[in-house]
Amino acid sequence: QVQLVESGGGVVQPGRSLRLSCAASGFTFSSYGMHWVRQAPGKGLEWVAIIWYDGSKKYYADSVKGRFIISRDNSKNTLFLQMNSLRDEDTAVYYCARDRGAGNYLDYWGQGSLVTVSS
Amino acid sequence: QSALTQPPSVSGSPGQSVTISCTGASSDVGSYNRVSWYQQPPGTAPKLMIYEVNNRPSGVPDRFSGSKSGNTASLTISGLQAEDEADYYCSSYTGSSTFVVFGGGTKLSVL
């Protein structure tokens, strides 16, 4: 069965960096695009980024463009989100999700990893 | 890209039907049949319920259905059950570099 497991969350000071990982299993990881989606405490879902199945294309939400980098290692079935210059408003649960049809829909989601940006 | 507009809350009694609307723009919902709906019970991850406007993934009850007219998509849940109580989010492909936009979410209460 498809499994997505995020890790790497925690408490970090404003301006610092953090890298999230998403370990995938149960499907051919290298055949699917992947997303990051976040949810601030008590708020709705916000799309963050997408990466093509082969890493050739990447797109970002305006709120993270220039600060966050999405990447993947298909040899290790792992998705990453490098988060730099973190701000208070980046505090959220970060979910990885599998893409179907280049942004068409997200069919499987991980359980999420909490990132708290606080001094 | 602005978030899609959903009502903050809807409610219904067991056995009744409810409809949640999702209003976007001609550049997203109005241009593409790439609207999806997600269910998120408290403290859990979102789950895909409807994709491409009106398709159900395997395992989703046929009580859940989707539709679209112009810039507005809708999710209808018939024969409400207590287990349907959750937050529901719509999403649309945007065709721009921001790719995907979500609605603000609707809290469904089953009275």
Partners of B48 on chain A (C-beta within 8 Å) are 105-109
Q: Indicate yes or no: CB of A44 within 8 angstroms of CB of B89.
A: yes
What does the pLDDT read at residue B96? Answer: 87
What does the pLDDT read at residue B98? Answer: 84
Collapsing DSSP states into helix, strand and coil, what is residue A97? strand
Nearest by CB to residue B45, choosing from A60, A61, A95, is A95
Q: Indicate yes or no: CB of B51 within 8 angstroms of CB of A104.
A: yes
Q: What is the pLDDT of residues B32-41, one digit of tens each?
A: 999 999 999 9
Q: Which DSSP string corresponds to B47-62?
A: EEEEBTTTB--TTS-T
Sign of the CA dihedral running B100, A70, A34, A117: negative
CA distance A43 to A114: 14
- Is A1 within 8 Å of chain B by CB? no
Q: What is the pLDDT of residues B36-58, one digit of tens each?
A: 999 999 999 999 999 999 999 99
Quick check: A8 and A21 in contact, CB under 8 A? yes
Nearest to A20 by CA among A59, A46, A48: A48
Distance between A94 CA and the closest CA of chain B, angstroms: 10
What does the pLDDT read at residue B3? Answer: 87
Which of B9, B89, B100 best tests the A interface by mutation, with the highest count of A CBs <10 A?
B100
Q: Indicate yes or no: CB of A45 within 8 angstroms of CB of B52.
A: no
Nearest to A38 by CA among A113, A101, A108, A117: A113
Nearest by CB to residue B46, choosing from A45, A60, A101, is A45
- Is A87 within 8 Å of chain B by CB? no
CB hemisphere CA count around B85 (13 angstroms)? 11
If pLDDT is split at 50, 70 and 90, which confidence band does A101 have? Answer: confident
Q: What is the pLDDT of residues A23-61, one digit of tens each?
A: 999 999 999 999 999 999 999 999 999 999 999 999 999
Compute the mean pLDDT over every residue in chain B, rounded to the nearest whole number: 95
Q: Which DSSP string corresponds to A19-85?
A: EEEEEEESS-GGGS-EEEEEE-TTS-EEEEEEE-TTSS-EEE-TTTTTTEEEEEETTTTEEEEEE-S
Six token digits for residue B15: 């056995």
Q: What is the pLDDT of residues A52-63, one digit of tens each?
A: 999 999 999 999
- Is B21 within 8 Å of chain A by CB? no
Quick check: A7 and A20 in contact, CB under 8 A? yes
Collapsing DSSP states into helix, strand and coil, what is residue B102? strand
Q: What is the pLDDT of residues A77-90, one digit of tens each?
A: 999 999 999 999 99
Distance between B61 CA and the closest CA of chain A, angstroms: 16
Q: What is the count of residue pairs from A and B with beta carbons less than 8 Å apart?
A: 72
- Is B72 within 8 Å of chain A by CB? no
Six token digits for residue A63: 């709120």
Quick check: A88 and A117 in contact, CB under 8 A? yes
Q: How far is CA A77 from CA A37, A54, A72, B8, B93, in A?
A: 19, 12, 8, 38, 26
Phi, psi of B66 (to 5 degrees): -130, 160
